[in-house]
Structure 1
Amino acid sequence: MPTIAILMNSIVMGRLQFWMGWIMATDGEYPNKILAWLQPATGQPLSRRFLPLWLALRSELAPIVGDSGFSALFARCLSIRGDLFPWLSPPPAAAGLLKMDFGELAVKLAITLEEQAPDVGLAASRALFATFYDLLLVLVGERLLAGVLDAVWKRPGFRESAGRLAT
């Protein structure tokens, strides 16, 4: 009989996790560890976790899928999560989104997340990562995705620097 556990708005059954309507593989530490880590410490803005994560993901994935591939994947995640968080979904006229510097886009998005109620911003941040995880799982496979996330998670100073970022 599979073990069932409820974890941060999700249900875990064996190797699969059902989270906000999405199914994610749960082998190893990811994505649960990152979803939990996105919760900022008391009194810290959400951007202190959001920005380092996405900038590190871009730095690890761009050599594999290219800058435009990463931007396209990120834009697709924004569009998909627009169903629950309409302010995440770029307007149709935002074709320049793919050409925008990702660091600039991430900062703008972090500001938008900060403008939301804390629980809504956190839910959107987690949903965005979960969507990104799911899409990458299909595109590059479990092994490569685990390697990328492991490189981000174990990057020297990554988790510690999230508490020291300027807002």
Structure 2
Amino acid sequence: MHQLNLPPYAYKIKEMDGKTYIFDTIRKKYLVLTPEEWVRQHFINLLLNHYGYSKNLLRLEGGLRYNRLQKRTDIVIFDNEGKPFLLVECKAADVAINRAVIEQASRYNLTLRCPFMVVTNGINTFCFKVDFETGQYEQLKDLPKINRL
């Protein structure tokens, strides 16, 4: 797997039937280790252990409908009132974070209406504050901290 620009952590890996699995601390089970899952698990570690988000406020691979199509979000963080707060779209490290990736996350966010949105490939991470009234996105230098909830 690629070396990421995210904090290292003591992940758990196991091999079974010729496949590699990584332990997901949120869902409490081993998942097939794909390049995207590698980034997602590192980003979950960042959210929990470096930004102080609660495991109870995270939902992984949640379903949503967009243009009559069923889609899955990588990570959604909810505020203390249960409203969607931060959408995180994870890509594999070798996938460039470009306009198309940001637009994909933005389309998902039209349904969720999170005031903050992140796109990351573990190498590059971009965070935006979303103004739904004007349709404007403001790029932030850092993720919103837990004390802003």
TM superposition score normalised by structure 2: 0.30
Higher helix share: 1
The answer to which structure, 1 or 2, has the higher relative contact order (CA under 8 A, 6+ apart) is: 1
TM superposition score normalised by structure 1: 0.28
Higher strand share: 2
